Amino acid sequence: MTHQDILKACGLTSAELSDGTLAVRSPIDGAEIARVHETSADDMQSVIARSVAAFKAWRDVPAPRRGELVRLLGEELRAAKTELGALVTLEAGKITSEGLGEVQEMIDICDFAVGLSRQLYGLTIASERPGHKMTETWHPMGPCGVISAFNFPVAVWSWNAALALVCGDPVIWKPSEKTPLTAIATHKIMMRAIERFGADAPEGLCQLVIGGAAVGEALVSSRDVPIISATGSTRMGHIVGPKVMARFGRPILELGGNNAMIVAPSADLDMAVRAIVFSAVGTAGQRCTSLRRLIVHRSIKDDLVARLAKAYSSLKIGDPREAGVLIGPLVDKGALDAMQKALSNAKVEGGKVHGGEVVTSGVPAGAYAAPALVEMPTQSATVKTETFAPILYVLTYDELDEAIALQNDVPQGLSSCIFTLNIREAETFLSASGSDCGIANVNIGPSGAEIGGAFGGEKETGGGRESGSDAWKGYMRRQTSTINYSSKLPLAQGVKFDI
């Protein structure tokens, strides 16, 4: 399919693709593929007002009925999987299988959320007073602003939107300025589901706004948008988090990661190599869960580095649409420059760099690089910094305690893993004194999480949780009720206050 075919298959009209102010480039060859229209900051107040009005209707629609809308969204996504996956590839540069995988992740979260729509369980709590009971009820919270990043241009919206919608919250989505086309295409899919759902869905239930900082700022600073779920850099989180907190809104932040794998002497190295390669170079190292640090036992380091260097040399780099290619482009030239800068800094800090060169031959005109393996003498400043590129720093350890300390000694806390066949080591890694990350795996890599678990991490990763488990509670308000069915009015804690 040509890129015009893909845009057409996704229902994007030429009016939507031209004459706008925001230029969209495909990372594959850097060529401009559209100029989309931006939402003006002046329009944001009416966007938010529509969302507030939609909330008043949507919160009263029974949750299982709200789930029906998400079920229809899942159906529409299934029908559109091929073309939307292809558009993810075109606009974000992912290889075909990962573009499709991203849409599958959207479908999965819809299925999860449909089930959830009948399981927004509260508690009954024992009261200390006779003739009393306590309950806890979860209520819809209000409009949810979703600010998403280029690297998962549509899945991140779906983790938030599927949950927010069953929880009774309207959604306003501001996608990355680098990936508005996938957002427009997804919004159309959502609108098809709404159309099929019928009149119970209020106008303004799901809105899309396209633009830069001013549009984001309007969402972030509005008291009418109680939830802001923002995915992106720690730098962005430093701006968004405090602003949302300052108005007592609820931020759900998914920021940087600096994910490590500990490889213990007992590890199955064949499996470890496969896991390392996928998680370090998949998506060209541009997942927030990408593997960035390898902490290898000294006794196996040379063997593992040699195997990795061999595996790296066989990886096909190029046009992500081509069969066999595993490493597509970085998102843009800026990302390539940042990668090269990190590599030269690592050298200054004593790093021995294998690979990492800019690739220009045999690839289209985008920003392509060979993945880099960098043996480091210490966990230096560069290693502690997240660079969104396929760079894997290799460190060594002698004792597990030391490996865990290295794993934890970075500002970020998203994902982590250990390869070991030793149950003591595995359980120590997962224990309270083990990995400090939101995700800690055994014998699989740090990336490619399923939607069933809560997704997110600690420290500079921002603390938010999205997707599975009870992350839905982040989209609702909790109400505690004490009900007195007796004819007396005893006070808690035995307090006497007779009048």
Which residues are designated catalytic? 254
Q: Are 376 and 394 in contact (CB under 8 A)?
A: yes
Is 159 a binding residue for ligand UN1 by CB under 6 A? The answer is no
Decide if residue 289 touches ligand UN1 (CB under 6 A): yes
CA distance linking residue 466 with residue 473, whole number of Å: 10
- Contact status, residue 143 vs residue 226, Cβ threshold 8 Å: yes
Is 18 within 8 Å of 319 (Cβ atoms)?
no
Token code pair at residue 467: 């997707």
Q: Which is nearer to ligand UN1, 152 or 475 (CB)?
A: 152
What is the distance between the alpha carbons of residues 281 and 481, in angstroms, rounded to a whole number? 51
Using the rule CB under 6 A, is 179 a contact of ligand UN1? no
Q: Which residue has the tokens 């060529």?
A: 31
Binding segment for ligand UN1 (CB under 6 A), chosen from 178-186, 287-295, 314-322, 358-366, is: 287-295
> Kind of pairing, strands 171-174 and 144-147?
parallel
Residue 151 CB, nearest approach to ligand UN1 (Å): 5
375 beta partners:
352, 394
Binding mask 94-133 for ligand UN1 (x = CB under 6 A): -----------x----------------------------
Q: Which is nearer to ligand UN1, 100 or 376 (CB)?
A: 100
Written as one letter, the residue type at 291 is L
Dihedral of the alpha carbons of 341, 347, 350, 356, in degrees to the nearest 10: 100
447 in contact with ligand UN1 (CB under 6 A): yes
The residue assigned the tokens 């405090």 is 242
The token pair at 44 is: 């944001």
Q: Which stretch binds ligand UN1 (CB under 6 A): 149-157, 161-169, 308-316, 369-377?
A: 149-157
Contacting ligand UN1 (CB under 6 A), which of 165, 449, 454, 476?
449
Q: Does 448 bind ligand UN1 (CB under 6 A)?
A: yes
What's the closest the beta carbon of residue 149 comes to ligand UN1, in angstroms?
6
Total of chain residues touching ligand UN1, rule CB under 6 A: 11
One residue of 55, 112, 150, 152 binding ligand UN1 per CB under 6 A? 152
Q: Which stretch binds ligand UN1 (CB under 6 A): 43-51, 203-211, 282-290, 371-379?
A: 282-290
Q: Which of 151, 207, 222, 396 binds ligand UN1 (CB under 6 A)?
A: 151
Q: Residue 358 has which token pair?
A: 């800019």
**What is the distance between the alpha carbons of residues 350 and 386, in angstroms, rounded to a whole number?**
18
CB of 280: closest distance to ligand UN1 in angstroms?
12
| Burial (CB count within 10 angstroms: exposed 0-12, middle 13-18, buried 19+), residue 163 | buried
Minimum distance from residue 40 beta carbon to ligand UN1 (Å): 28
Residues binding ligand UN1 (CB under 6 A): 105, 151-152, 156, 231, 287-289, 447-449
